[in-house]
Amino acid sequence: MFITGSPLALSKTVKIGCTMGSWHSSKNETFDSSGNVNFDHFQILRAIGKGSFGKVCIVQKKDTKKMYAMKYMNKMACAQQEAVSNVIREVQILRAVEHVFIVNLWYCFQDEEDMFMVVDLLLGGDLRYHMAEDKTFTEDHVTLYLAELALALDYLGGRGIIHRDIKPDNILLDEEGHVHITDFNIAAETGKDGTASSLSGTKPYMAPEIFSTALGESDGYSFAVDWWALGVTIFELLKKRRPFVIHGDTGPQETLHVLVNTNVHYPACVSENMNDLLRQLLLVDAKQRIQTLAAVRSHPAMASVNFDNVKAKQIKPLFVPSNDQLNCDPTYELEEMIIETKPLHKKKKRLAKQLSKKDSLSSDNASTTKEKPDLFKDFPYYNRDSDLHGKKPPAPAPAPAKSSGVSNQRNQGDVKRPNTADSAAQPKPNSKQALPYSCNQDSNQARPIKQS
């Protein structure tokens, strides 16, 4: 599935994005289109997002002219924050999934400076952006979102994947207004017992059983945590605030107390059926909570929804993002031009200079240099186009030893990057993680919390 913008939106995007593209030489650049896909195969148009280790840019593949989002992560920054395994794990999971309501991976590769992930381009922005723009979402809006996200969560659960960071920041809109889940940086594959155990997520959206597991009161948690986060997200869209008051510095014990004892005031502006569905998504007891597509489909709040038509994208969303703008913060482009010390548009010239300098070293000096271990040897090359011609995506590798970490979200508009997954090594404290694939920013650092 390739999600592209409307012709108007794309022509507008390219026009706006020509600033970065124009920095390239006007001469015709040659590249081997038959070889492995690499950085030279893409025209860089403009920056639309940033994070700890790099940025997200709109790019165009030179041979097919298709538009994508290119996420690039600086190797040195990832190594310093001990986050390389997280990035590799995210790629392994994304290679094994493809769904109409998920931001899908198309290519990944690396060079001397960066690791690259090329994914679906969605021009509608994320739900957090539209909430910040004071967009009002009604029950009619969120009913379709609920159906689309339930289909995506059902797909992930069927493949043993817990996303663990469902929130408005990680739900992107395409140009027609359909929702898509992004950011699998702390996603986990369940073990043989169907559970995970690390303290991972964005606090205001984390289910009670995640904290009870961290406190030693539970043996683990499963897919129900994503359905809880879905309930929090839909509640927030309807009421413009979350059902629970939880801050970044709230500890696990206090957070669990808030989740268990808060008397939630459900939105008065929606039907009793919708509020009942929200109540069942936010049940503290995970065993009683709605956590399947079948349960959502059979609920009275969804009685009018044809899920087959939803999956086929035959139901038009009521909210269509503007195609007169990029639905993101325009300062990302200025930062790339003015602040960035290693801008992407100058990469080719920079790497050529580095190679020339490296070749000029004497063989004697080279022989006395102790070779460093390659931290990035497991970052895979991937080309979904090849898979579409007969090859199946590889299954993610078995999960290694478990670790723990959590992201803290102090303010409603903050975007947090949780800092580990069950299947990834724990980064250093105060690290931020994956980049979003639309217009979004990691505004605060993550803070790991050790298990009791």
Tokens read off for 162: 């817990």
User: Rounded to an integer, what distance in angstroms lies between the CA atom of residue 243 and that of residue 286?
Assistant: 17
Integer angstrom CA distances of residue 342 from 81, 283, 339, 435: 19, 48, 9, 17
- Secondary structure, 3-state, 275-322: HHHHHHHCCCCCCCCCCCHHHHHHCHHHCCCCHHHHHCCCCCCCCCCC
Asked if 41 and 32 count as a contact pair (C-beta separation under 8 A), the reply is no
Give the sheet arrangement for strand 54-61, strand by strand. 42-50, 54-61, 67-74, 114-119, 105-110, 382-383
User: Rounded to an integer, what distance in angstroms lies between the CA atom of residue 201 and that of residue 229?
Assistant: 10
Tokens read off for 335: 């930062």
User: Rounded to an integer, what distance in angstroms lies between the CA atom of residue 220 and that of residue 194?
Assistant: 9
Close Cβ partners of 275 (under 8 Å, ≥ 6 residues apart): 266, 267
Is 342 strand, coil or helix? coil
Given the structure tokens 């199946």, which residue do they identify?
392
Integer angstrom CA distances of residue 309 from 11, 305, 318: 30, 8, 15
Q: Is 12 annotated as a binding residue?
A: no
Query: Per this entry, what is the length of the chain?
Result: 452
Is 165 marked active-site? yes
Is 196 strand, coil or helix? strand
- Active-site annotation holder among 114, 154, 165, 226: 165
Is 148 strand, coil or helix? helix
Active centre residues (catalytic): 165
Write out the binding residues: 71
Write out the binding residues for ATP: 71
